[in-house]
């Protein structure tokens, strides 16, 4: 007996952890969703943090397939099975991706999957562990957007200076020269010549003012963030406002305007910016659609975005033009101004407004058969558009 007491390798009342003990530990990890699936990928255990994160109770989720937590995009590319295959091959599968909750909302998580092996080496199923990194993801994305905006501001600043020095200054010099000629020779000139020069002055001044208006609006979207006031907007009403404004031009050119957006379809955007976007695209479509053609505006929902299509039966455009459409250089802006009275600047403005509202724009076109401009806008207020100053000050990023 004495030898047993002095032997450190002999323990009295040795505690052997039970399955319930480990279950309690797993349930205490409130920041981690931990659950298991069998070999058929059917969920057979579910900790309390999983309920908190995914919103499914244990009773609701047990018996469901593993892919219930994956987004539709992930399922289309075989994401759930790919995780399992990687875990079998490498012993574990690690990823960072979006997952979907019971109510359809998404969260960004670090995930780990590894095979669950029994005492005799048989495969019992798999363990999935996730940690919610949504806030970190939002922070990283916000900082990336901030850096990109700084880069864009510098590029736009250089573009504006180039346009002011070349695209505004040169025509203004012509206007001054014409006015000076009239001033010095007015008394000796024939009335028809005077009339022609005055009309030229008026047209050139009007074009110059239009171009200046574009630049002011462009600068406003980039620099004056305080005037940005997004709100819920019924899309069909704003399309109709633009159609009413451009109706006279459409009638003169015998182009039919069709607003096929259903009532009560709404987007979350700045009202003035949305009007500018619609008016710019529809105006350009009118300029390039021959008599008897038509312009159709439709919209369809895709997840949390609304995709708006403005389709025309116009002359279309080449691939080269399409590739440069939303990032024109100085020479193309000059040509756009000569040919289309500022269309190049207008599309820069459109792109800037849409990006400000959390949207994007692209175009599909076939020469001789027309073009379709597509743009997206959020349906509801975007909760992930965090103020960058707030993000940078977060201690977790330092």
3-state secondary structure the chain: CHHHHHCCCCCCCCCCCCHHHHHHHHHHCCCEEEEEECCCCEEEEECHHHHHHHCCCHHHHCCCEHHHHECHHHHHCCHHHHHHHHHHHHCCEEEEEEEECCCCCEEEEEEEEEEEECCCCCEEEEEEEEEECHHHHHHHHHHHHHHHHHHHHHHHHHHHHHHHHHHHHHHHHHHHHHHHHHHHHHHHCCHHHHHHHHHHHHHHHHHHHHHHHHHHHHHHHHHCHHHCCEEEEEHHHHHHHHHHHHHHHHHHCCCEEEECCCCCCEEEEEHHHHHHHHHHHHHHHHHCCCCCCEEEEEEEEECCEEEEEEEECCCCCCHHHHHHCCCCCHHHHHHHHHHHCCHHHHHHHHHHHHHHCCCCEEEEEECCCEEEEEEEEECCCCCCCCCHHHHHCCHHHC
Arch. (CATH architecture) of 2-132 = 2-Layer Sandwich (3.30)
Q: What is the pTM of this model?
A: 0.50
* Residue of 283, 186, 195, 205 whose CA lies nearest to 243: 283
The span from the CA of 347 to the CA of 343, in Å, is 6
> Alpha-carbon distance 111 to 100, whole Å?
13
**According to the model, what pLDDT value does residue 341 have?**
41
Q: Are 388 and 145 in contact (CB under 8 A)?
A: yes
Report pLDDT for 164: 60
Q: Report pLDDT for 394.
A: 40
β-strands 43-46, 93-100 pairing: unpaired
CATH 3.30.565.10 placement within the chain: 138-378
CA trace torsion 244, 249, 255, 260 (10° rounding) = -20
pLDDT of residue 205: 84
Check if the beta carbon of residue 371 is closer than 8 Å to that of residue 285: yes
Q: Just give the CATH number of 138-378.
A: 3.30.565.10
- Provide the token pair at 246: 């451009």
Through-space distance between the first and last CA atoms of the chain, rounded to whole angstroms? 59
8 Å CB contact between 308 and 281: no
CATH 3.30.450.20 location in the chain? 2-132
At a CB cut-off of 8 Å and minimum separation 6, what does 127 contact? 34, 35, 36, 113, 114, 115, 116
Torsion 240-242-248-250 (CA) sign: negative
- Do 84 and 65 touch, CB atoms closer than 8 A? no
Q: What is the pLDDT of residue 337?
A: 42
What tokens were used for 215?
């630049």
Nearest of 195, 281, 216, 270 to residue 246 by alpha carbon: 281
pLDDT recorded at residue 135: 75
Q: What is the pLDDT along the chain (398 residues), one digit of tens a residue?
A: 445 455 544 444 554 444 454 455 555 555 688 888 999 999 988 888 888 889 899 899 999 999 999 999 999 999 899 999 999 999 989 888 889 999 988 888 888 898 988 888 888 899 888 888 877 777 777 667 666 766 666 665 666 666 665 556 667 778 888 889 888 998 888 989 889 889 888 888 877 777 777 666 666 655 555 567 889 999 999 999 999 989 988 998 899 999 999 988 999 999 888 988 998 899 889 989 999 999 999 999 998 899 999 999 999 988 888 887 876 544 444 444 444 444 456 787 788 788 888 899 999 999 989 999 999 999 988 654 544 444 433 433 33
Task: Work out whether strand 256-259 and strand 266-270 pair parallel, antiparallel, or are unpaired.
Answer: unpaired
Q: In sequence order, what are the residues at sequence separation of 6 or more whose Cβ sits closer than 8 angstroms to the Cβ of residue 220?
A: 227
8 Å CB contact between 343 and 336? yes
CA angle 45, 46, 47 (to 5 degrees): 130
CA nearest neighbour of 127 among 18, 21, 30, 50: 50
Residue 89, token pair as written in the block: 């091959």
Separation CA 179–CA 206 (nearest Å): 15
Reading the block at residue 260, the tokens are: 């096929």
Distance CA 232, CA 229 (A): 10
């Amino acid at each position: 007996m004495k030898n047993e007491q002095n032997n450190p390798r002999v323990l009295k009342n040795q505690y052997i952890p039970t399955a319930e003990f480990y279950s309690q530990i797993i349930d205490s990890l409130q920041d981690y969703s931990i659950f298991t699936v069998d070999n058929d990928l059917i969920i057979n255990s579910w900790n309390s943090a999983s309920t908190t994160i995914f919103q499914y109770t244990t009773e609701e989720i047990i018996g469901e397939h593993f892919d219930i937590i994956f987004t539709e995009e992930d399922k289309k590319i075989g994401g759930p099975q790919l995780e399992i295959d990687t875990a079998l091959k490498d012993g574990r599968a690690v990823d960072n991706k979006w997952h979907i909750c019971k109510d359809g909302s998404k969260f960004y998580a670090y995930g780990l999957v590894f095979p669950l092996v029994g005492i005799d080496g048989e495969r019992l199923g798999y363990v999935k562990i996730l940690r919610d990194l949504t806030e970190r993801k939002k922070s990283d994305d916000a900082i990336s957007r901030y850096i990109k905006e700084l880069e864009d501001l510098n590029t736009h600043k250089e573009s504006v200076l180039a346009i002011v020095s070349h695209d505004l200054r040169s025509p203004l010099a012509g206007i001054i020269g014409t006015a000076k000629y009239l001033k010095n020779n007015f008394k000796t000139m024939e009335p028809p010549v005077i009339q022609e020069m005055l009309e030229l002055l008026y047209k050139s001044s009007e074009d110059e003012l239009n171009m200046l208006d574009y630049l002011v609006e462009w600068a406003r979207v980039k620099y004056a963030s305080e005037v940005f006031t997004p709100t819920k907007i019924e899309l069909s009403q704003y399309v109709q406002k633009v159609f009413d404004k451009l109706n006279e031009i459409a009638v003169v050119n015998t182009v039919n305007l069709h607003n096929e957006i259903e009532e009560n379809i709404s987007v979350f955007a700045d009202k003035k910016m949305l009007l500018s976007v619609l008016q710019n695209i529809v105006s350009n479509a009118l300029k390039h659609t021959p008599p008897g053609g038509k312009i159709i505006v439709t919209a369809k929902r895709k997840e949390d975005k609304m995709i708006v299509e403005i389709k025309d039966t116009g002359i279309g455009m080449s691939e080269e033009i399409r590739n440069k459409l939303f990032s024109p250089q100085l020479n193309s802006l000059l040509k756009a101004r000569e040919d289309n009275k500022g269309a190049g600047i207008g599309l820069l403005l459109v792109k800037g407004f849409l990006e400000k509202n959390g949207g994007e724009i692209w175009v599909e076109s076939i020469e001789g058969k027309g073009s379709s401009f597509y743009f997206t806008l959020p349906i509801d207020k975007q909760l992930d558009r965090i103020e960058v100053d707030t993000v940078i000050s977060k201690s977790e990023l330092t």
